[in-house]
Structure 1
Amino acid sequence: MIRTVAELISGILRDELPKLDNAPVKHAPTIGDMYEGLSSDLLNRALPDGLGLRVVSGFARDGQGRLSGQLDCMVVRGEGEKLPYAESYVWHVKDIIAVVEVKKNLHSAELRDAFAQLKSVSVIEHSYYQGDDEELDDPDRSMAPSARTFAEMTGRVAWNAEGPVALPYEEEALFGALLLEQVSAIRVILGMHGFKSERAFRSAMVDYLERNIGDNGFGPTYFPQLIISGGYSLVKANGRPFMAALLDGWWPFYFSTPENPLRLLLEFIWTRLDEMYGFGHAAWGEDLDIEVGRALLSFRAACVDGRKGWEVRAHEAGDEALSAIPVVEQWSPEFLGKVEFVLLSRLCQGEEVRCDDPKMISWLESHGVEFNDVRARLLETRLVASAGKSLKLITKKCQLVILPTGEYVAAENSTGRLDRWISRRIAAQRNGVSGEGLV
């Protein structure tokens, strides 16, 4: 369904955008209003019915009366305050789902301006969500998604049956960032036109960051989740929905892609709404194609000489290297060995898998396997995480299957993705297709 909706609003954009581009008006505020109006219309079409959501323009505020700069489009729930004699609203940050800054053309100057505008929302959110405001309680928002993302990224659990787990500063900062990402508004810069190449877009972002290294407001939680410049996008891998595992302690935090930008926008907004309200399986369609990110920025929390902050690393790539990376690839479950399959089955049945279980260790030795080796392979699946001496499932619905070929596979199947993959694979084999990409 999400792909169908993305194609629908992409078609509307293709039809309507030339009308705005060719309009005879030269009055800059009016031109801005036209592009903002088109963006609001597209957002309204992208929102599911029945949730009481609206698209408005205006200002974000917190419980202390602090205001953001003026915002082009806000996807909101609940009630806001309409300003007198204006079609603008003031809305509390806790009820803002997404904020979109719209630009006719997004190049370096507009990127800086829009980034600063959205940062005014982040400043208010940080103060509100990290403070003691009594309005903070929100029954729609469980912290479980952030805990799951943290476990997938690090291979360690942040919560257990007794409560929060003691983490080193680097991981504690990462978990705090993920929690803030989950509850903060999705921030988007939407440039209808922009950079002529993906490489130029990436370079402009890196140049902007380098000019502000060491300044407040340039940590990972201040970056927009999505920046669109014509046909190219910069995307945040914060686990909702895009996730990247840590590499030597570095968080592959931002990537670029030429994928349909409106599909990316829907992925962010619908993931947030799914976490808050629940959509069911139908919203995601087959979901067997996954985006391939071209890494741009990596962050790592660090404490140097008593100063805590984030280190950043840029990943440069030329046009040829970027074009060699596919835009999407086919999803597949994790293929397991028999021993891994048995241990994962134990976890799915509610049994423990511990490194100090003498019976299990003896059984592994009888199969010529070291516990540390099978543990490392299971952690690579991102279906389990380490909790002290134990391994814990971190999925919503882990399912294991023995294929007709005798192969063992496992995957998160809460959306039915594994079922669809198996159906497609069997159909391909019946039709005499090799099943390339599905094995």
Structure 2
Amino acid sequence: MIRTIADLLSDILRKELPKLDKAPIKHAPTIGEMYEGLSSEILNRALPNGLGLRVVSGFARDNRGCLSGQLDCMVVRGEGERLPYTDSYVWHVKDIIAVIEVKKNLHSAELRDAFTQLKTVSAIEHSYYQSGDEELDDPDRSMAPSARTFAEMTGRIAWNAEGAATLPHEEEAVFRALLLEQVSAIRVILGMHGFKSERAFRSSMIDYLEQNIGNNGFGPTDFPQLIISGGYSLAKANGRPFMTPLTDGWWPFYFSTPENPLRLLLEFIWTRLDEMYGFGRELWGEDLEIEVGRALLSFRAARIDGRGGWLVKAHEADDESLNQVPVTEQWSPEFIGKEEFVLLMRLCRGEEVRCDDPEVISWLESRGVEFNSVRDRLLKTRLVASSGQNLELVTKKCQLAILPTGEYVAAENSTGRLDRWIFRRIETMRKRASGE
């Protein structure tokens, strides 16, 4: 469904955008209003019905009266305050789902301007969520999604029924960043037109970051979740929906892609709404094709002059290197061995799997396999994570299957993705066998 709707919105944009581009208007504010109006129309069409969501323009505020800069588009819930004699609103930051800063053209100067504008939102959010003003009984603020993402990224459990785990500084900083990402508004820069190449877009962001190394406001949580410049996008891998595992302590948190920008926008917004309201499997369609990001920026938490900070690493790439990376690839479950299959079965039944369990160790030794080897293979699936001596599932709904070929597979199946993959796989095998 998400691909179908993204294609529909792209078709609307292709038809309507030329009309705005050709409009004989030279008045800059009016031009801005036209592009913001088209963006609002696209957003309204992208939102599911029945949730009471609205698209407005105006300002974000916190409990203490602090205001953001003026914002082009906000996806909001609840109630806001309409400013007298205007179509603008003031909305509490906790009820803002997404903020979109719209630009007719997005090049280096506009990128810097929009980035700065959206930081006025993140500054209010950071202050609100770290001040104790947050309404902690809000049912939408469970830390479970962040804990699950952290476990997938690191292979470690940060939070369970027994409370918080003791984490090294580098991982603690990542977990805190993920928590803030979960509750913060999705911040988007939407440039209708922009850079002529993906490489030029990437270089502009790297140059901007290099000019601000050491300045406040350039950590992972300060970056917009999505920046669109014409047909290219920069997106954040914060687990909502895109996730990348830590590599030697580095978090590859920003990537570029030429994928349909409106599909990415839908992915970010619908993932947030799914966490808040629970849509069910029908929302995502077959969901058997996934985006492949081209790594742009990696961050690593560190102690700098006695204070917490972030080290950053840019991944340079020329046009040839970028073109060698596919835009999408077909999803598939994890192919596992019988030992991993048996241990996952135990976890799915609610049984413990401990690295010091003599029964498990004895069975594995009888098969000529060490527990540590099986544990490492299980951790690589991102379906489980370690918690002390235990392995724990980190999925919503882990399911296993034995294929007609005798192969063992396992996957998260809360959206029915594994079911659809198995059906397609069997259908393909049937057609090959019948010579179709």
Tell me, yes or no, whether TM beats 0.5: yes
Spell out the pairing of 1:385-404 with structure 2 (5 A cutoff).
385-404=385-404
| Amino acid aligned to 1:123 | A
Q: Is the 8 A contact 1:293 1:327 kept in 2?
A: yes
Distance, in Å, in 1 between the alignment partners of 2:218 and 2:334 is 36
Q: Is the 8 A contact 1:141 1:275 kept in 2?
A: no
| CA separation of 1:134 and 1:414: change in aligned 2, threshold 3 A | closer
Displacement, 1:141? 2.5
Displacement, 1:136? 4.6
| Amino acid aligned to 2:221 | T
Report the number of matched residues. Answer: 434
Cα deviation, 1:36-76, whole Å, max 9, x if unaligned, reads: 00000000000000000000000000000000000000000
| Amino acid aligned to 1:368 | G
Distance, in Å, in 2 between the alignment partners of 1:418 and 1:357 is 31
Spell out the pairing of 1:296-335 with structure 2 (5 A cutoff).
296-335=296-335
| Amino acid aligned to 1:207 | D
What is the DSSP-based 3-state SS (H/G/I as helix, E as strand, rest coil) of the residue aligned with 1:326?
A: coil
Residue 351 of structure 1 is matched in structure 2 by 351
| Amino acid aligned to 2:24 | P
Residue 128 of structure 2 is matched in structure 1 by 128
Residue 103 of structure 2 is matched in structure 1 by 103
What is the DSSP-based 3-state SS (H/G/I as helix, E as strand, rest coil) of the residue aligned with 1:313?
A: strand
User: Is residue 198 of structure 2 the alignment partner of residue 169 of structure 1?
Assistant: no
Displacement, 1:305? 4.0
Residue 373 of structure 1 is matched in structure 2 by 373
What is the DSSP-based 3-state SS (H/G/I as helix, E as strand, rest coil) of the residue aligned with 1:177?
A: helix
Residue 57 of structure 2 is matched in structure 1 by 57
What is the DSSP-based 3-state SS (H/G/I as helix, E as strand, rest coil) of the residue aligned with 1:66?
A: coil
Displacement, 1:168? 1.2
Distance, in Å, in 2 between the alignment partners of 1:26 and 1:137 is 50
Residue 29 of structure 1 is matched in structure 2 by 29
Displacement, 1:255? 0.2
User: Is residue 87 of structure 2 the alignment partner of residue 90 of structure 1?
Assistant: no
Cα deviation, 1:375-417, whole Å, max 9, x if unaligned, reads: 1000000000000011000111000100000000000000000
**Structure 1: runs of 5 or more not aligned:** 435-439
Q: Is the 8 A contact 1:60 1:68 kept in 2?
A: yes
Spell out the pairing of 1:261-276 with structure 2 (5 A cutoff).
261-276=261-276
Residue 362 of structure 2 is matched in structure 1 by 362
Distance, in Å, in 1 between the alignment partners of 2:141 and 2:419 is 28
Distance, in Å, in 2 between the alignment partners of 1:364 and 1:175 is 34
Displacement, 1:137? 3.4
Residue 250 of structure 1 is matched in structure 2 by 250
Distance, in Å, in 2 between the alignment partners of 1:181 and 1:400 is 31
Residue 17 of structure 1 is matched in structure 2 by 17
Distance, in Å, in 2 between the alignment partners of 1:308 and 1:161 is 28
Q: Is the 8 A contact 2:252 2:299 kept in 1?
A: yes
Deviates more, 1:86-95 or 1:154-163: 154-163
Distance, in Å, in 1 between the alignment partners of 2:123 and 2:307 is 21
Q: Percent identity?
A: 82
Distance, in Å, in 1 between the alignment partners of 2:421 and 2:71 is 42
Residue 2 of structure 1 is matched in structure 2 by 2
Q: Is the 8 A contact 1:94 1:136 kept in 2?
A: no
Cα deviation, 1:175-221, whole Å, max 9, x if unaligned, reads: 00000000000000000000000000000000000000000000000
Q: Is the 8 A contact 1:104 1:193 kept in 2?
A: yes
Spell out the pairing of 1:414-433 with structure 2 (5 A cutoff).
414-432=414-432
Q: Is the 8 A contact 2:396 2:412 kept in 1?
A: yes
| Amino acid aligned to 2:26 | K
Q: Is the 8 A contact 1:2 1:266 kept in 2?
A: yes
Q: Is the 8 A contact 1:194 1:230 kept in 2?
A: yes
| Amino acid aligned to 2:320 | E
What is the DSSP-based 3-state SS (H/G/I as helix, E as strand, rest coil) of the residue aligned with 2:213?
A: coil
Residue 207 of structure 2 is matched in structure 1 by 207
Residue 227 of structure 1 is matched in structure 2 by 227
**Structure 2: runs of 5 or more not aligned:** none
| CA separation of 1:84 and 1:259: change in aligned 2, threshold 3 A | same
What is the DSSP-based 3-state SS (H/G/I as helix, E as strand, rest coil) of the residue aligned with 1:255?
A: strand
Q: Is the 8 A contact 2:237 2:244 kept in 1?
A: yes
Distance, in Å, in 1 between the alignment partners of 2:168 and 2:315 is 26
Displacement, 1:2? 1.1
Cα deviation, 1:96-133, whole Å, max 9, x if unaligned, reads: 00000000000000000000000000000000011111
| CA separation of 1:275 and 1:410: change in aligned 2, threshold 3 A | same
Distance, in Å, in 2 between the alignment partners of 1:250 and 1:48 is 36
Deviates more, 1:2-11 or 1:189-198: 2-11
Q: Is the 8 A contact 1:379 1:385 kept in 2?
A: yes
TM-score, L = length of structure 2: 0.98
Spell out the pairing of 1:132-171 with structure 2 (5 A cutoff).
132-133=132-133, 135-171=135-171
Displacement, 1:433? 8.1
Displacement, 1:139? 1.3
Deviates more, 1:2-11 or 1:315-324: 2-11
| CA separation of 1:433 and 1:146: change in aligned 2, threshold 3 A | farther
TM-score, L = length of structure 1: 0.98
Q: Is the 8 A contact 1:20 1:34 kept in 2?
A: yes
What is the DSSP-based 3-state SS (H/G/I as helix, E as strand, rest coil) of the residue aligned with 2:72?
A: strand
What is the DSSP-based 3-state SS (H/G/I as helix, E as strand, rest coil) of the residue aligned with 1:128?
A: helix
What is the DSSP-based 3-state SS (H/G/I as helix, E as strand, rest coil) of the residue aligned with 1:135?
A: coil
Residue 437 of structure 1 is matched in structure 2 by none
Q: Is the 8 A contact 2:128 2:134 kept in 1?
A: no
Q: Is the 8 A contact 1:129 1:136 kept in 2?
A: no
| Amino acid aligned to 2:425 | R
RMSD: 1.0
Misfit runs of 4+, over 3 Å: 134-137
